[in-house]
Structure 1
Amino acid sequence: MGLLTDALNGLAGLPQPAVVAATGALVLAECTLGVGFLAPGESGLLIASTTATTVPRFVVLWVVVTLCAVAGDSIGYLIGRRYGDRMRETGVVRKLGQQHWDRAGDFLRRRGWWAVLVARFLPVVRTLMPASAGAANLPYRSFLPASVVGAAAWAALHIGIGAVAGASAKYVEKTLGRASTAVVVALVLAAVVAVLVKRRRAKKSAPTPDRTPELVP
């Protein structure tokens, strides 16, 4: 077997409860206001999804990720409900970018609960939308169903992509042989570098607060 196949098999061989728990924790952190800028929840989910090699594994990971995403959304909603429009001036929102907060609020005013569902697929806005919905006093009975549907669709999409990518990588390596390993590894490294550069640029473009970011102004 090739290097990539060995790595994927090694990941799939890890205790499934540990993989699911770690993935759920990353997703919960990413979906919680203030942590999403740092936690690689989406990347971690895609990597962990390569272990979803059977239907039961897929379903378990999907359910846990969905629940964790909804829990993170609910925490953000409660924070926004507690602090209201003052959230825009907090260190956390400044760090993420006040323009994203304004974008989330404008989207919410135009689309209501539908914005909560769609925002699940929008980077950064996904992290700020729950708090924005709480600050805008969107009823929780409207927020929760949209959050659940959006989280379920987002989780299914990313787990599906990860599972297919893992299976495809194994097939390619098996078909082309060990010579393909160097190419695949190079592509993976290039993707990682691109993500890191993008994150660094995003951090540089985000307004830097005068003091350590705090939740309360």
Structure 2
Amino acid sequence: MLTDVLDWLRGLPPAGLIAAAGLLVFGECTLGLGFVAPGETGLFILGTTVGSVPEFLLMWSVTTVCAIAGDSVGYLIGWKLGPKLRQTKVVRRHGADGWDRTTDVLRRRGALAVLIAIFLPVLRTLMPAAAGTARLPLRKFLPAVVVGAAAWCALHIGIGVAAGEAARRIEKAVGAGSWIVLGVVVAVVAVVIVVRRRRAKAQEANDAKDAGDATR
């Protein structure tokens, strides 16, 4: 069952898979889509379709370019609209505290904060626009984005490749019980995503509480 699913994914048009990966990452890196469809999950799933080094390099190259482009668009949105973004429904509903924290850290830490935020849930989606709002110089923002985007895409595609290969090997060993492997893989991915997001939200709540106490 598991290899049937993976083979079905690999049987889809390669150009379509690459385009889907690029669009997903581009949306993740601009303001909004990352709250609905985390890009790392999509790259993990699409990474299972990669079966050779050239395929990996192609998907990695396309997604890295799309991530850089998405971050750049988000940066320009933040630069143009500035504090108005803080009042949008997307930010207020999903990450107002994260927005404030990200903007503050970007002002204080600059390029290092950009590089770190790329690997953190919630903050990754907010970071580009927040960097523009914080007026972080493009000469500091862009190099950090290039390095971070390349590493972020390679990491999650690589995880997908490893998971897909491991699943095929395990299925050969367990035979008819392969559906259990599929369930475990999906459950682990879901738990990791939920835990990461809950930790991020808990950290945002703590920071907001500390900020409130400091103003008293």
TM-score by length of structure 2 reads: 0.85
In the alignment, structure 2 segments of 5+ residues that lack a partner are: 205-216
Higher helix share: 2
Residue 27 (structure 2) aligned to one of 26, 29, 32: 29
Task: Write the deviation string for residues 174-211 of structure 1: whole angstroms up to 9, x where unpaired.
Answer: 122222x1321332453476579779989xx99xxxxx
Structure 2 partner of 1:214: none
Query: Which residue is 1:156 aligned to?
Result: 154
The change in CA–CA distance for 1:195 and 1:110 in structure 2 (over 3 A counts) is: same
Q: Deviations over 1:71-127 (max 9, x none)?
A: 111111001101222322222211222110012112212311111111110001001
Answer yes or no: is 1:75 the counterpart of 2:82.
Answer: no
Greater displacement, 108-117 / 54-63: 108-117
Report the equivalent of 2:184.
187
**CA displacement, residues 11-60 of structure 1 (integer Å, 9 cap, x when unaligned):** 11211111010111111111111222113422111110011110100000
- 1:9-48 to structure 2, matched below 5 A, reads 9-48=7-46
Identity %: 57
How far the C-alpha of 1:132 sits from its partner, in A, is: 1.0
TM-score (norm 1): 0.84
Q: What's the Cα RMSD here?
A: 2.5
Between 1:97-106 and 1:16-25, the stretch displaced more is: 97-106
How many residues end up aligned between the 2 structures? Answer: 202
Relative to structure 1, the CA distance from residue 57 to residue 78 in structure 2 (aligned partners, 3 Å threshold; closer, same or farther) is same
Q: For the Cα contact (< 8 Å) 2:68–2:146, is it kept in 1?
A: yes
Q: Distance in 1 between matches of 2:190 and 2:42?
A: 16
Q: Distance in 2 between matches of 1:136 and 1:201?
A: 26
- Alpha-carbon distance in 1 for matches of 2:85, 2:183: 42
Segments ≥4 residues shifted beyond 4 Å? 191-202
